[in-house]
Chain A
Amino acid sequence: MTRFSATILVLGLAAIPAGAQDTKKEIQKYQQMIAEGSPVELFELEGETLWKKPQGPNNVSLEKCDLGQGPGVLKGAYARLPRYFKDADRVMDLETRLLHCMTTLQGRSRDEATKRVFGNENQPSEMEYLSAYIASQSRGVRLAAGNSHPKEKAAYELGKALFFYRAGAWDMSCASCHGEDNKRIRMQDLPVLYKPQAARPIMATWPAYRVSNSQFKTMQWRLNDCYRQMRFPEPKFASEATNALNTFLTVTAAGEPYRGPGTKR
């Protein structure tokens, strides 16, 4: 054995793993403490107000919106999305369905309702507030996205294919970062999202408040921003592609009790 490799071996066995272990433990502690001290409930409160607020040409609230469990039924609705909706003949996640209700119930135009779907720290968006409130009404309910209707099955398959599709200026797919166990970007652990064990705790805590920019973030945003970082063009809001990916991820996470909205780095 050369002196060099002996040195590396010593370093490898002693210093580095111990440090890495401590780091991981401290990061977990950080994440636990930010979750305990999260202001996420403020977004739920605001969302409840918006859910009940008459808006649009029809001047009605969203309280009659059918999120899959019947008009106005919120309890457990989020945990069963995305799912197939007969009236729209397509698979819809929460935001897509809300957009549907804004156009059909409230009579708003798609352009107006999607003008500002992702907000910022000074002015969160209507979708963000509503997502916080509606998701909170599924706490404790097991995730059970639709996976029986042929269109739900097709969405799952398309989502899976999208997950592994490498393209863009940096040759990336979702699996480039979320494809191997025990990897991280900077300090951020990367869940292997096509595996149920890893997908479950993640999907059970989205949408979420992000402390790094004090913003409440939805699943449509999460997918949008991943594609931005992957150096792709922008996915259209509420498109079939984003709904398919969301279906793939949520079906993969099936069975996990929902415990969001979460709080993330």
Chain B
Amino acid sequence: MRTLLLSAALLSGIAWAQSPVDVQKVLQRDFQARGQATMDRVVQDGLQRVCTDSHDRPPSDLARQLEADQLKTIDFPPGSLIGDWKRGERIAQGGRGLTWNDKPGAPADGSCYNCHQLSPQEMSYGTIGPSLLRFGWMRGNGPEMQRYVYGKIYNAKAYNLCSQMPRLGHSGTLTPEQIKDLVGLLLDPESPVNKQ
């Protein structure tokens, strides 16, 4: 792993006046644990380090390898992955979870509308991620699509290593049940996302 990281830094060709290691030390000195936001969060894992080093443009071989590692973290539930789109819509609207003033263990939300357009009725949507309007209508909702959407929400980095989307299942933000409800929001033909 160490050589892998080193080569990533070299390949990216970005000269940092401060190495990420130095920055991590600063964060460990200048930040403090509060609530559920503990200090281990400032320590980068492998992909965070590679993405920081490469300005989110990791060498493709390395990216493929690390994406495969991330894919292994996803535990796909059996059966249909399409949950209740109505609950999904509420999860997509909210922005709570994992911050230092959120109650540990309390249900979190997906923060989906912060970055994506989904239901056409909601005009206050962000644009950091692509529009998901009519997502299921365009792509169908067969088992493969369900698996892709579930996996993408559970761990977006398995599909695009330096994606800005949080690993909502892997990080413990959302439960498998909540992720299925979001799959429902995206793929259920009755969901406003897919209605004309």
Say if the beta carbon of A242 comes within 8 Å of chain B. Answer: yes
Complex interface residues of chain A between 158 and 189 (CB less than 8 A to chain B): 158, 160-162, 164-173, 176-177, 180, 182-188
Complex interface residues of chain A between 217 and 235 (CB less than 8 A to chain B): 227-229, 231-235
Which residues of chain B come closer than 8 Å to A227, judged between CB atoms? Answer: 31
Say if the beta carbon of B73 comes within 8 Å of chain A. Answer: no
Which residues of chain B come closer than 8 Å to A168, judged between CB atoms? Answer: 41-42
Complex interface residues of chain B between 34 and 53 (CB less than 8 A to chain A): 34, 37-39, 41-44, 47-48, 51-52
CA distance A169 to B101 in the complex (A): 14
Closest A-chain residue to B134, C-beta based? A8
Query: Is A172 a contact partner of B41 (Cβ separation < 8 A)?
Result: no
Known: A23-B123, A233-B32. A162 touches B23 (CB 8 A): yes
Closest A-chain residue to B33, C-beta based? A233
Query: Is B43 a contact partner of A167 (Cβ separation < 8 A)?
Result: yes
Which residues of chain A come closer than 8 Å to B29, judged between CB atoms? Answer: 239-241
Say if the beta carbon of B7 comes within 8 Å of chain A. Answer: no
A148 CB to nearest B CB, Å? 16
Binary interface encoding of chain A residues 11-28 relative to chain B, with 1 for a CB under 8 A from any of its CBs, else 0: 000000000000100000
Which residues of chain A come closer than 8 Å to B150, judged between CB atoms? Answer: none
Query: Is B126 a contact partner of A183 (Cβ separation < 8 A)?
Result: yes
Query: Is A158 a contact partner of B23 (Cβ separation < 8 A)?
Result: yes
Which residues of chain B come closer than 8 Å to A187, judged between CB atoms? Answer: 124
Which residues of chain B come closer than 8 Å to A235, judged between CB atoms? Answer: 30-31
Interface size class of A (residues with CB under 8 A): 35 or more
Residue of B22, B33, B100, B164 near A172 (CB, 8 A) is B164
9-residue interface stretch from B12-20, B59-67, B175-183: B12-20
Which residues of chain B come closer than 8 Å to A169, judged between CB atoms? Answer: 37, 41, 98, 166, 171-173
Query: Is B31 a contact partner of A234 (Cβ separation < 8 A)?
Result: yes
A36 CB to nearest B CB, Å? 23
Say if the beta carbon of A236 comes within 8 Å of chain B. Answer: yes
Which residues of chain A come closer than 8 Å to B47, judged between CB atoms? Answer: 171
B126 CB to nearest A CB, Å? 4
Say if the beta carbon of A48 comes within 8 Å of chain B. Answer: no
Query: Is A158 a contact partner of B100 (Cβ separation < 8 A)?
Result: no
Known: A164-B52, A166-B44, A229-B99. A241 touches B31 (CB 8 A): yes
B107 CB to nearest A CB, Å? 16
Say if the beta carbon of A66 comes within 8 Å of chain B. Answer: no
Query: Is B31 a contact partner of A173 (Cβ separation < 8 A)?
Result: no
Say if the beta carbon of B125 comes within 8 Å of chain A. Answer: yes
CA distance A168 to B26 in the complex (A): 15
Query: Is A185 a contact partner of B98 (Cβ separation < 8 A)?
Result: no
Which residues of chain B come closer than 8 Å to A165, judged between CB atoms? Answer: 20, 23-24, 27, 44, 52
Of B22, B26, B29, B34, the most chain A CB neighbours within 10 A belong to B26
CA distance A236 to B172 in the complex (A): 26
Query: Is B32 a contact partner of A172 (Cβ separation < 8 A)?
Result: no
Query: Is B26 a contact partner of A157 (Cβ separation < 8 A)?
Result: no
Closest A-chain residue to B117, C-beta based? A16
Which 10 residue pairs spanning A and B have beta carbons closest together?
Answer: A170-B166, A241-B30, A239-B30, A161-B18, A157-B17, A234-B34, A185-B126, A233-B31, A233-B37, A176-B164
B interface residue numbers (CB < 8 A to A): 16-18, 20, 22-24, 26-27, 29-34, 37-39, 41-44, 47-48, 51-52, 55, 98-101, 113-115, 123-128, 134, 138, 157, 164, 166-167, 171-173
- Other 19 A-B pairs with CB < 8 A, given A158-B26, A161-B16: A4-B138, A158-B18, A158-B23, A160-B17, A165-B24, A166-B51, A169-B171, A169-B173, A170-B171, A176-B128, A184-B126, A186-B113, A190-B128, A231-B171, A233-B33, A233-B100, A234-B33, A234-B34, A235-B31
A interface residue numbers (CB < 8 A to B): 4, 8, 23, 157-158, 160-162, 164-173, 176-177, 180, 182-188, 190, 227-229, 231-236, 239-242, 244
A sample of 27 cross-chain residue pairs with beta-carbon separation below 8 angstroms, ordered by A number, consists of: A8-B138, A23-B123, A157-B17, A164-B52, A165-B44, A167-B41, A167-B44, A169-B41, A170-B166, A171-B157, A177-B128, A183-B128, A184-B126, A185-B128, A228-B99, A231-B41, A232-B42, A233-B32, A233-B33, A233-B100, A234-B33, A234-B34, A236-B31, A239-B31, A241-B26, A241-B27, A241-B29
